[in-house]
Amino acid sequence: MNGTGNLGFEDSIKIYEVKKIQEYRKWCQEIPFIQFPLDWQIQIIPPAGGAIVRFKIKRNLSPNEVSVYLDCYDRLRLFGQPYWEICPYQGETYRCEMNNDEELLNAIEVALGNKRYFLTKT
């Protein structure tokens, strides 16, 4: 890339190859919708290490933040199926199945300090 945002032909080919390897269109259909608590701030960041999705979360007015990424191809060979990874989590790393959004949200809450707010209808 030349610094102005214009891609050269070789860069365009590389991006196309990554898009094909990562199967982004396929995962757009399979990644679940997640209802995040109102007091979370979410920063979408570029994926690393072959992840499909990556973001950081912190709670309003708190310095604590966690990194969350989705490994759909088990590239780290640790889980055996598509999974979310949260880091840091109690000094370690936490993993759960991609389709288990309740477990994901609860683990993020623990990592952030365990003060989850639930929406209620009035």
Using CA atoms, how far apart are residues 88 and 75, in angstroms rounded to an integer? 19
- pLDDT recorded at residue 77: 78
Using CA atoms, how far apart are residues 32 and 6, in angstroms rounded to an integer? 33
Q: Closest by alpha carbon to 40, among 122, 120, 108, 121?
A: 108
- The token duo for 53 is 């999705």
- pLDDT recorded at residue 106: 94
pLDDT tens readout for residues 95-112: 999 999 999 999 999 999
Cβ-contact 98, 31 below 8 angstroms: yes
Whole-structure pTM value: 0.80
pLDDT tens readout for residues 6-62: 778 888 898 889 889 999 899 999 999 999 999 899 999 999 888 999 999 998 878
The domains of the chain are located at 37-122
Cβ-contact 86, 67 below 8 angstroms: yes
Using CA atoms, how far apart are residues 122 and 20, in angstroms rounded to an integer? 47
